[in-house]
Structure 1
Amino acid sequence: MVFMLGTNIPENRILQTAIQGFYGIGPNVAARLCAKLSIHKTALVGSVPAPKITSLVELMTGMTLENDLRRVLRDDIRRLKDMGAYRGRRHAQGLPVRGQRTRTQTKTARRLNRVDRRG
């Protein structure tokens, strides 16, 4: 087990997919981080040397991840609501925000976009 940012990661997992488990790191960011440290995309967590793991953790600590990112997103939505912006009203009503069709697919949008927008 490798301990990264408060999470134990098994040694038999692929490193690139393992760091995608952190909120805020998707496939592109994970690939970019691995490329920056010249880690192969199919390298297992156990096969990566410890100095590279520590430098990866250093890079990740400089990013906004997990609860900090969730708080930033929640604050942005709250700011839009307080301003009375169109996007803020759509968030408050639980409707699509980015111009999607609502004539027939509102039920689907309400079901899929379950984010705590009240608050």
Structure 2
Amino acid sequence: MVFIFGVNFNEQKLVKKALQSFYALGPQTADRILAKYSIFPGAKIGTLPPKTLTALTAELSTMNIESDARRVLQDNIKRLRDMGTYRGRRHAMGLPVRGQRTRNQTQSARKLNKVERWG
């Protein structure tokens, strides 16, 4: 098991997939990090030297990921709701926010837009 930024990963896991498992880290950011540290895209975590693992952990600690990114997202939604914008009201009602159809198939929007309701 390899320990990166508070998470244990199996030694056979690809480095790119391990990076993408963190909230707010997508494929492009993972590719950018791999290029920065000259890591082959097909490399596995178990093959990385300890110095590179330390550098990866240091890089991740400077980024807004996991709880920081979730908090920023919730703050943005709260700001929209406080201003009373259309998007903020749609978030508050649990309806689709980006113009999707509401006549049918709003269940996924109701699942994804779960935020506390206005008083």
Instruction: List aligned pairs for 1:18-57, cutoff 5 A.
Output: 18-57=18-57
The answer for the alignment partner of 1:14 in structure 2 is 14
Structure-2 separation of matches of 1:15 and 1:39: 8
SS at match of 1:8: strand
Instruction: List aligned pairs for 1:1-119, cutoff 5 A.
Output: 1-111=1-111, 113=112, 115-118=113-116
Per-residue CA deviation, residues 81-108 of structure 1 (Å, 9 max, x unaligned), is 1111111000001111112222333234
In structure 2, list runs of 5 or more residues that go unmatched.
none
Report deviation, 1:58: 1.4
Preserved CA contact (<8 Å) 2:94 2:114 = no
Report deviation, 1:67: 0.7
TM-score of the superposed pair, with normalisation by structure 1: 0.89
TM-score of the superposed pair, with normalisation by structure 2: 0.89
In structure 1, list runs of 5 or more residues that go unmatched.
none
Letter in 1 for 2:16: Q
SS at match of 2:46: helix
The size of the alignment, in residue pairs, is 117
Preserved CA contact (<8 Å) 2:19 2:25 = yes
Structure-2 separation of matches of 1:54 and 1:36: 14
Per-residue CA deviation, residues 18-65 of structure 1 (Å, 9 max, x unaligned), is 111111111121111111111011101010111111111111111101
Q: Say what the alpha-carbon RMSD is for the aligned residues.
A: 1.5
Q: Please identify runs of 4+ aligned residues in structure 1 that moved more than 3 A.
A: none
Structure-1 separation of matches of 2:47 and 2:76: 40
Structure-2 separation of matches of 1:48 and 1:103: 52
Letter in 2 for 1:60: L
